Structure 1
């Protein structure tokens, strides 16, 4: 890569929290909590909704995951610009991967037939490595946007292309658990959360490109957001992984206690 190209890669000073970015992540967490609370109410029999097919819920789920992964990509752009080294990256990555394993174990106890084996944290663990590698290799923002667009397009094109041209054995292999984490599937697997690389890595790459552009051209935007609601959301976003792991046990425990107190348990 030429020195002229490198000069356009934004850099930042020592690591600091960017409040508006944290607030965006916190917004995703708050929205996710409302979604999961409704899901838990349905699971407990207090409401009756189809979370697997009703567009009201399926589109919300897609929007929440999109926002969360987009901010994850922005966060990687900021971390690289601030000089985060590989050892620190791997420590954070180990936390994400460890929590993903706990999600698998917990979901297996609750949903043994549809437990989570490649949900949002599992996908994020893989996507963080891929995005970090591309960023430290100084891949251009345009290339990140194009790669993201290709991954999103594949989500819509791959099922039809596979059905038309691939053999039955290839299709079954791609639909199987060892390979369906790629996202090249013709049917969604039976699992409570499924976040494959296609298309979701595309959202992370778009977030990385957006984060890099903002650091270069609008750095004040990421650091802004000093209102009371903004500060509250930013505080939530700073502890997103811990919050993610704790919110469902708290919600389920609260509903269980409510059912016991009201005689519905």
Structure 2
């Protein structure tokens, strides 16, 4: 299994980040006044955000299944984790400079950093990952308390009101999506490895390549978009 390529998984991951980039570009167009949309309440945008984050985290779970199957050691895991956590810190700093009142303190990368540790520790739980994932998704609908509404506790997700922040991906319910990705990945690798392993058609090769650089793409796309639109606004004055 260690010698197999997983270009199909890479391409799926790239599809998620390209969709995310398109969403962010529209958000930036709205930020600079080129369009007028309600990204916080319009179902067209809120549903897309949920779908994008779900696909992104599901792919992260699939990736963890591959790493577990290949016997990835803790040193390599922690090196990758440090990259994600470091990028999460940079996102917080950058968003604070732009949105000091609603900066990102627990967005998608922060959530992934925590969830990677949890999924790594629970990767050997087998079929229990399916009901655990369901419980994680459903629990915030039934268990909520004002204690979890503070910035120091709302990362758990058991909130009574949504915090004011540009991106918010708490542990619950999103850990359930990554658990399902991990469980699905383990099943596929055991029963249908060809669904993930192997090459892709030549037309999709650029997508597979992009999927291998998903974190770099994620970190660069917003500065490029915002810089380009800011320059366009400045030149049009």
TM-score interval, normalised by the smaller of the two chains: over 0.9
Where does the alignment leave 5 or more consecutive residues of structure 2 unmatched?
none
Q: Distance in 2 between matches of 1:89 and 1:250?
A: 29
Q: Distance in 2 between matches of 1:238 and 1:217?
A: 24
Q: Distance in 2 between matches of 1:129 and 1:157?
A: 25
Q: Which range is displaced more, 211-220 or 149-158?
A: 149-158
Specify the alignment match of 1:146 in structure 2. Answer: 131
**Number of residues paired by the alignment?**
237
Specify the alignment match of 2:12 in structure 1. Answer: 24
Q: Distance in 2 between matches of 1:105 and 1:229?
A: 37
Q: Say whether the 8 Å CA contact 1:70–1:206 is kept in structure 2.
A: yes
Q: Residue 201 in 1 paired to residue 182 in 2?
A: no
Task: Classify the secondary structure of the residue corresponding to 2:218.
Answer: helix
Task: Classify the secondary structure of the residue corresponding to 2:196.
Answer: helix
Larger radius of gyration: 1
Where does the alignment leave 5 or more consecutive residues of structure 1 unmatched?
1-11, 163-170
Q: Say whether the 8 Å CA contact 2:6–2:199 is kept in structure 1.
A: no
Q: 1:87-102 to 2 correspondence within 5 Å?
A: 87-102=75-90
Deviation at 1:229, TM superposition (A): 3.6
Task: Classify the secondary structure of the residue corresponding to 1:209.
Answer: helix
Q: Which range is displaced more, 118-127 or 226-235?
A: 226-235
Q: Residue 46 in 1 paired to residue 46 in 2?
A: no
Deviation at 1:225, TM superposition (A): 5.0
Task: Classify the secondary structure of the residue corresponding to 1:139.
Answer: helix
Q: 1:40-119 to 2 correspondence within 5 Å?
A: 40-119=28-107
Alignment partner for residue 157 of structure 1, among 142, 151, 156? 142
* Runs of 4+ off more than 3 Å: none
Q: Residue 13 in 1 paired to residue 2 in 2?
A: yes
The TM-score with structure 2 as length reference comes to 0.97
Deviation at 1:156, TM superposition (A): 2.1
CA RMSD of aligned residues (A): 1.1
